[in-house]
Amino acid sequence: MTDNIVIETKALTKRYRPGIVAVDGLSMNVKRGEVYGFVGPNGAGKTTTLRMLLGLVHPTSGDCSVLGHKPGSPEVLARIGTIVETPAFYPYLCGRDNLKVLARLASVPYSRIDPALKEVDLLDRAQDKFKNYSLGMKQRLGMAAALLKDPELLILDEPTNGLDPAGMAEMRGLIRELGRGERTVLLSSHLMGELEQICDRIGVIKKGKIIAEGALDELRHGSRLKVKAEPLARAQELLGAMPGVGKIEQDTDALMVEADPASAAAINRSLVEAGIEVSELYMMKLSLENVFLDLTEENKQRG
């Protein structure tokens, strides 16, 4: 593992019993300082993978290293902040006492507690019992707990669960802020819009396997051009014969063309010179959701 790689897994597999494979030969790399989005549908194996990275779940096979060490070792845990699924705390303790318990287990001074609570805007409610917190407050306390150790690596599993739109936006801002500089964030979610706004790179997981990994622009496979022209059938015929043009799909009264955005002007000229009236031609940026649906659809077809 190079110094630049913070998390590395090779053929990581978790089988619960014969026939049930939660994670299936998963290989991924998370680089230092990046916000890595881990995207996949519910039940794809995201949480099991994160639990293996934290040493909570033992892999059946494969290799896995976190910050250059075996997952779950004290020297690694001391440098990681985490939220896994719904934040779990002791219901009879107040927010501050919950953090005191975790601070003791992490050998972190109590002086870190108030800044962490302040960071997530929970200082005023720190004396309230955890059982009386709303889901959003629980999530924020989870984030405060994750920040207690001032960690090098944050592993966050669905951190915006239960938050209202304002809370989600706030949490996204916080994660973006935390991901600046040297700190690495591994963020798991099935909310594509959330990841799209925060992440530098994304790994798409389906049925326990990484089916695509890269920067969002790479995953978009370049971009698509939307071409609205008359007559549409002739335009499609002409575009199909052009070099550098990939898949062409008809979308009601327009064509979606897989092509390099730089070739847009050439495409326009060719169509016009062939007597085709072009009313619209522009680059469509695919959303992560489109990419994900495309990938999982392709995957389904291959399977």
Query: Closest separation between CB of residue 81 and another protein, Å?
Result: 9
CA distance 53 to 241: 49
51 binds another protein per the rule CB under 8 A: yes
Is 38 exposed, middle or buried, given 0-12, 13-18 or 19+ CB atoms closer than 10 A?
buried
Binding mask 138-167 for another protein (x = CB under 8 A): -------x---x------------------
Q: Which structure tokens are listed for 245?
A: 């043009």
Task: Spell out the residues 6+ positions from residue 14 whose beta carbon is closer than 8 angstroms to its own.
Answer: 21, 22, 23, 45, 48, 52, 57, 59, 60, 208
Q: CA quadruple 192, 193, 199, 200: dihedral positive or negative?
A: positive
64 binds another protein per the rule CB under 8 A: no
Pick from 98, 166, 106: nearest CA to 138: 98
CA distance 115 to 297: 45
78 binds another protein per the rule CB under 8 A: yes
Q: Which residues of 168-184 are buried (b: 16+ CB within 10 A; e: fewer)?
A: bebbbebbeebbeeebb
185 binds another protein per the rule CB under 8 A: no
Question: What one-letter code names the amino acid at 301?
Answer: Q
* Size of the residue set binding another protein (CB under 8 A): 33
Stretch that binds another protein, among 96-104, 118-126, 204-212, 221-229 (CB under 8 A): 96-104
Stretch that binds another protein, among 72-80, 187-195, 215-223, 257-265 (CB under 8 A): 72-80
CA dihedral 27, 31, 34, 35 (to 10 degrees): 20
Stretch that binds another protein, among 4-12, 94-102, 199-207, 212-220 (CB under 8 A): 94-102
Query: Closest separation between CB of residue 89 and another protein, Å?
Result: 7
Among 10, 68, 88, 218, binds another protein (CB under 8 A): 88
Q: Would you say 71 or 220 has its CB closer to another protein?
A: 71
101 binds another protein per the rule CB under 8 A: yes
Q: Would you say 145 or 171 has its CB closer to another protein?
A: 145
Residues contributing to the site for another protein (CB under 8 A): 47, 51, 54-58, 72, 74, 77-78, 80, 82, 84-93, 97, 100-102, 104-107, 145, 149
